[in-house]
Structure 1
Amino acid sequence: MNVAIRYYSKSGHTETLANAISEEMDVPAKPISEGLDEDVDVLFLGSSIYGNSIDPAVVEFFNNLDVNIGCIVSFSTAGIMESTYDQIKELTDLFDIKLSLDEFHCPGEFAGINAGRPNKDDVEDVKAFVKDLFD
């Protein structure tokens, strides 16, 4: 199975989760600025909420896709809002890519809210999430 990990992170919180997934899957985590260069069965896609929306760089990532993706698994952090799942779903629907119903989301620190998140427990939780996906 060909697996890839891509993420967009301004503060490093989503990158923290991407690196934990990387450790669990033994696959490098790369920023979305490093597009995909081959077809993948599973793409772990990390994002966050900035100003009530995903960053335009995530939309650009989708616009630049020129490979086949079997399924995307969304993971995200956010200081105030819930996950990015619904916004990623709009993109996967538009580009006719399957989105897993399973997602991982945890709070990220923002302006003193959720201080220290994602924390060690969040990192262990995302690793367990990944392990459960493939059991």
Structure 2
Amino acid sequence: MRIAVRYYSRGGATEKVAKAIAREAGERALATDKPLEKKADILFIGSGVYKGHIDGHVKAFIEGLTPDKVGKAVFFSTAMLGGGHSDEEVRKLLAEKGISMDTRTFHCHGKFLFFHRGHPDEKDLLDAEIFARKIIKK
């Protein structure tokens, strides 16, 4: 099974989660400016959530995807508050491309200004690894 991890991170929180997921998957986490070269049976896509929405870099990455390159997508995010409407936003963008998204998603706090300093912390990263393991498990 081929797994890919792509993310966009402004402050580094989403990158940390992406690397934890990739570590569990035995893959490398790459930024969204790196297109998929081979088909991914599972594509983990990560974004920070800003004012309830995903970053434009992630939107652009999704717009460049094709169903022949992705079996199933899985979304993860970091945010100061909750994930807002990010799940629905990603699901809709993927559906427009003919790509299904797993109903399971992963969200954790990311540091913003003085809020949630130290996040994602070790527990968040362990939770991300456990999440990835559950997704990958057949």
Scaled by the length of structure 1, the TM-score of the pair is 0.93
Report the secondary structure of 1:6's partner residue: strand
* Alignment match, 1:2: 2
Secondary structure of the 2:60 match is helix
Counterpart CA distance in 1 for 2:120 and 2:128 is 10
Paired residue secondary structure (2:134): helix
Deviation at 1:134, TM superposition (A): 3.0
Partner of 2:64: 64
Q: Give the equivalent residue in structure 2 for 1:123.
A: 125
Question: C-alpha distance in 2, partners of 1:7/1:118?
Answer: 15
TM-score computed with the length of structure 2 as normaliser: 0.91
Percent of counterpart pairs with the same letter? 33
Count of paired positions: 135
Q: CA RMSD in A?
A: 1.4
**Other-structure match for 1:92:** 94
In the alignment, residue 32 of structure 1 is paired with which amino acid?
T
Equivalent residue number for residue 46 of structure 1: 46
* Stretches (4+) displaced over 6 A: none
> Hey, what's the Cα distance between the residues in 1 that align with 2:7 and 2:136?
20
Instruction: Return 5+ residue gaps in structure 1 as ranges.
Output: none
Could you tell which deviates more after superposition, 42-51 or 75-84? Answer: 75-84
1:105 is matched with 107
Separation in 1, partners of 2:36, 2:82: 28
